[in-house]
Structure 1
C-alpha cells in the first residue's frame, strides 16, 4: 500500500496581506530615510515613524515565525533600521561640561487663546520659569494672563497677539528687545534678544503653518527653512514652540545639522508626545513641540505636562548658557 503525504495549502490571503504590509513599510521607510516631504500625506506618514517601526518589527517577526522568509526578512530589516533611528531618543546623551547662566524656558501652544491662563501662570511660578514662549496668543489671552499675574513674574514681553491662531509672544524675567529673527510667515513667530547676566541669547517663538493643510506642505517647508541658524559669532539662539514637525521630518533634521540640539532628545525624553494632549487612540500622539538650543548649551532637564484648555502639552527645559 502506497501512502502519499498531502501538504496543507498555504494561506494565500495571509501571504498577500503580508506582502502588502511589506510594500507599505518599505515605502514609509524610504520617505523617512530619504527625507522626502513631498505631500501632506507623506509628511503625516513620517510623523508616525516610531509607530511604523514597532509595527513593522512585530509583523516582520510574525512573518518569520510563519516561515514567510522573504517578506519577514524584508520587513524585519527595514524596521530595525527605523528603530535604530528612533530608540536613541529614549536615552540621555552625555552632558557636556558647561559653566554659565542657568535658564528655564517654557513653551506652550494656547489653542487660539482658550488655554487656562491661571494654570499657565501658576506653572511659571512653581517651576521658576525665566522665559515663556507662546503660540496662538490672542488679545483676550493677553488680558487673561495679565489678570492671572503674569506681569508680576515675567514683566518683560514681546507680544504679537492676534485673533484666532496666528498670534505669538515671548515673556521674560530678563529685559527683552524685539528682533525680527524669522522671515514673515503665515503665522506670527515672535523673536527677541534676552539680556541675560553675562551672555545674551536670542529666542524665537516658533509656529510654522501646519503641513497637513489642504494647500499642501510648501508653506511649512519654507517657514521651517527660514528659521535662523545658530550664530557662531554672536548671541546664542534658542528656537522654542510648536514646530508642527517631529524629529523625523527633514526640516527638523536640517536645523539639528546646523548646530542645534533638541532638549528633550538630549535628556532621553525625545519620545514623549506633546500633541494631542488627551493621548487618545486617534490621532496617534506625536512629538511636535520642541525646544532647540545651541549645541554649546548643556541641557539639564526637560518636563512635559498637560495644560487645561489646550490640545498641546507644555515643554519646560533648563539649559546652561555658557560664559563665552
Structure 2
C-alpha cells in the first residue's frame, strides 16, 4: 500500500511539473504566434523562439513517453507550428535568376566606438565590401577609421557621429548623397543614395532602433521599426542594414519582410546564425538581431557573420545582385 501511494505521489509530481512547463511553453509560443510585443519581457522571450522551439519539442516527446496525453498533444501541436516557422531559416531558398551588378554590403555595431577599427577595415578588404553601414559611431571612432585607412577602400561617406551610442554612418566605394529615409528616431539612422556604376542606384539605411528591453519599455523600439521605409517598386533598390535589435520572430521585422524585403541570412540558409552577444557568451543566449534586409528584386548570393574585436556584436556581410534597369 505504501509503495502504491509513493508511486501515485511521484506520478502526480511529474504531472504537475509537466503541466507547469507546458503552460510556460504555451504562453511563450502564443506570444510569438500572435505577434504580441507587449512588454520588454515579452519581446525578450520572443527573441528566444528558436531555443523555445527546441525546448517544446523535447517537452512534447517527454510528455508522450510518460503518457501524459493532454500535455503531449498540446505541446506537440504548438511545437510543430514553431518548427515550421523556424526551421526554414537553416535551409537556402531557391535563388532567382538576376542580371545586374554584384554589390556587397556590410553592417557593424561598433559598441560606442570600442570596436577595433583595424579589424573592421580588414573585414571590408577581405570581403570586398562596397557599402559599409555602422552603428554607435563616435567622433573618436571616425578618427580611428581614418588612421586605419578606411578612406582608402571606401572613400565616400555620410557619417552622423555622436558621443555615446546614438551615432551611425555609411561609407561607400561609390559616390553617395545623404538622404532622409526615416522619420526622426531615438538613435541616428543614416540614409544615403549610392550611385553605382551604370544606371543602377542603391538606397541604404544604417538601421539602429532603440533596444526594446530598456526600462522605459519597447514603445520607442516599436516606433523606430515602424518608421523604417518599406520597399517601393517605383524607387531605387533599397537595403536596410544594421542592428535591428529584433529577430525574425518579432512582428515589426516580419512586417518589413512582408512589404517586399528579404532577409539575406534567411535566403542562404544562415538565418539561425547569432550575431549578439559575440565572444561565445552563453548568457544571454546568442540571438540574430543584426540583419541585411534586401529588396526582394535582388537575388542574394552569400551571407556571413564576422567577429569584430572590441564589439559585442558580430558584423554581417551580404553579397547580392542589383538588377539592371
* TM-score interval for Structure 1 and Structure 2 normalised by the shorter chain: over 0.9
Residue 80 of structure 1, CA deviation = 1.3
Q: 2:82 & 2:280 partners in 1: Cα distance? A: 23
User: Residue deviations 1:272-306, cap 9 Å, x none?
Assistant: 00000122221000000000000000000001121
Unaligned runs of 5+ in 2: none
Aligned to 1:285: 286
Q: 2:63 & 2:26 partners in 1: Cα distance? A: 15
Aligned to 2:129: 129
What SS does the corresponding residue of 2:276 show, helix, strand or coil?
coil
Q: 2:147 & 2:103 partners in 1: Cα distance? A: 25
Note if contact 2:123-2:306 (Cα within 8 Å) is conserved in structure 1: no
- What is the alpha-carbon root mean square deviation over aligned residues? 1.1
Q: 1:177 & 1:6 partners in 2: Cα distance? A: 79
User: Residue deviations 1:3-39, cap 9 Å, x none?
Assistant: xx95842522221111011111111111111111011
Aligned to 1:193: 193
Q: Give TM-score, length-normalised by structure 1.
A: 0.97
Aligned to 1:306: 307
Q: 1:305 & 1:296 partners in 2: Cα distance? A: 26
Matched length: 320
Identify which range, 143-152 or 274-283, moves more after superposition: 274-283
Aligned to 1:92: 92
Aligned to 1:271: 272
Unaligned runs of 5+ in 1: none
| 1:216 maps to 2:211 | no
Residue 231 of structure 1, CA deviation = 1.7
Aligned to 2:78: 78
Q: 1:189 & 1:17 partners in 2: Cα distance? A: 47
Aligned to 1:69: 69
What SS does the corresponding residue of 2:98 show, helix, strand or coil?
coil
Note if contact 2:268-2:300 (Cα within 8 Å) is conserved in structure 1: yes
Q: 1:142 & 1:13 partners in 2: Cα distance? A: 60
| 1:174 maps to 2:171 | no
Q: 1:190 & 1:45 partners in 2: Cα distance? A: 29
Q: 2:306 & 2:195 partners in 1: Cα distance? A: 28
What SS does the corresponding residue of 2:57 show, helix, strand or coil?
helix
What SS does the corresponding residue of 2:78 show, helix, strand or coil?
helix
Q: Give TM-score, length-normalised by structure 2.
A: 0.97
Identify which range, 265-274 or 25-34, moves more after superposition: 25-34
